[in-house]
Amino acid sequence: MNKDISLHNPDSDRQIENLSKMVIEEADIVKPIIKEQLFREFIFGTSDAGEIFNIFCKTFGIEKGLKTRMFIIKPAGKYEYDDLFFFRNLAEKSMGEAHIAAGAAIGRHVLIITDITERARLISELDKLRRRIKTCYNNDVTLVYSDIMSFDEAPVVYERLSECLGYAFYASESRTLYEGDVNIHRGAVEIDARYLNIEKAVRSGNVQAVGELLDSFFAGLERAAPCPAVAKTYCLELYVCIIRCCEAEKIDKYMKGLSSIQRGASLASIRGFISEKANEITLSNAPARTRRYSALIEETVAVIDSNIANENLSLRWLAGTILYTNVDYLGKLFKKEIGTNFSHYVMEKRMEMAKGLIMGGKKDRIYEVAEKVGYGSNPQYFSQVFKKYTGISPLEYKEYVRLHEGKAPDVKKTS
């Protein structure tokens, strides 16, 4: 790369002169467009990348050896291609245009180079950017950032970060990755999947054994961390061995779940989906004497437990989408066996879970607790329900726990 950049070409000098003149004359309109296009061509490494890099640095007054970091923004939800340009502009406004050396929409994500090299400060800026994108565009994003680099290393670093981006599949909920923390596996991996043991436990209705075996399976998959495509093949094999254990008439229903695994954006979401279906099938295979309720209500309770954070959780949704049964029949059977109606049961589950989250000493804010218990779009309503249930607001509850070193307040739940 250095050899190419150092070549002296009279034609290139004229290009630089003409381009610079045009940028000066039409700065407001032309400069941002040309800057992004030249940067994109430099990143893709065309045959004259060296000259393009010279033009870029000369025109926009950037030192070739400038110490920088690179980060990539990739939308997690649905978006239009034009949204990428808005994400880039928002990054420039959020971090300050003076700190953005270059940026461009490339493929299905946004690439930005910044002179903010202090890691703690960059993480803080990326967290702020994530919140603003969520607020302005209602879109979650995956962020991956590089180690400190020289500006002229951008094409090589971009290739590394692009590969790291796929490993957001294993990331935590924050989905912010540092390239130094990503362990990329390029060779073959072996997982002790124990499919036969899992199948045997599901067939016998042993819920505890199934849970332990699934925990072991996913822990092994996370340790090996193969590329996401390979990880999904293991998950597909696991799912197939589980649904083989269900009643024949339900096979078609469970087969539709294969596409959910293939489309899964994260290992955590795939794990949740497979665990939910494994629990359903295992409960249906459990000996009748071990059941507290009928098979249908056992399955209903299991689906509630695994979907407690889902805002769409309702009797009608569960009956029509998950269990394929009559909603009125399910509602009457649920109240008969459980002793309370569906909505009240779900509300109590959510409130008890919210109390547990607050008691757990985590630094979740109230809106984060609300999101985890199914009130993500309406934290104010969550606070109202919580206060009606416990007699005090979530903030008062949290403050009491803090002041009394983790002790729960003496409150009585209400109907």
User: What's the pLDDT score for residue 5?
Assistant: 41
Tell me the β-bridge partners of 102: 113
SS3 assignment, position 127? helix
Phi-psi region of 412 (alpha: psi -120 to 50; beta: other; left: phi over 0): beta
Q: What is the DSSP string of 52-98?
A: HHHHHHHHHT--TT-EEEEEEEEE-S---HHHHHHHHHHHHHHH-GG
User: What's the pLDDT score for residue 25?
Assistant: 55
Q: How far is CA 53 from CA 2, 35, 46, 113, 214, in A?
A: 11, 11, 11, 14, 51
User: What's the pLDDT score for residue 38?
Assistant: 83
The correct CATH number of 64-184 out of 3.30.460.20, 3.30.70.270, 3.40.980.10, 3.40.50.970 is: 3.30.70.270
Strand-strand pairing, 67-75 and 149-150:
antiparallel
Distance CA 331, CA 389 (A): 23
SS3 assignment, position 112? strand
User: What's the pLDDT score for residue 173?
Assistant: 55
User: What's the pLDDT score for residue 333?
Assistant: 92
User: What's the pLDDT score for residue 26?
Assistant: 54
CATH 1.20.272 fits 345-403, yes or no: no
CB-based contacts of 325, cutoff 8 Å, min separation 6: 296, 319
Answer whether 245's CB lies under 8 Å from 281's CB.
Answer: yes
Instruction: Please give the single-letter amino acid code of residue 181.
Output: D
Distance CA 206, CA 217 (A): 16
User: What's the pLDDT score for residue 401?
Assistant: 77
Q: How far is CA 378 from CA 25, 141, 160, 385, 396, in A?
A: 51, 21, 40, 11, 19
| pLDDT < 70: residue spans in the chain | 1-30, 46-47, 77, 171-174, 184-189, 287-292, 360-363, 404-408, 410-415
Residue found under tokens 């981006």: 165
User: What's the pLDDT score for residue 11?
Assistant: 62
Answer whether 177's CB lies under 8 Å from 142's CB.
Answer: yes
Residue found under tokens 């946004």: 110
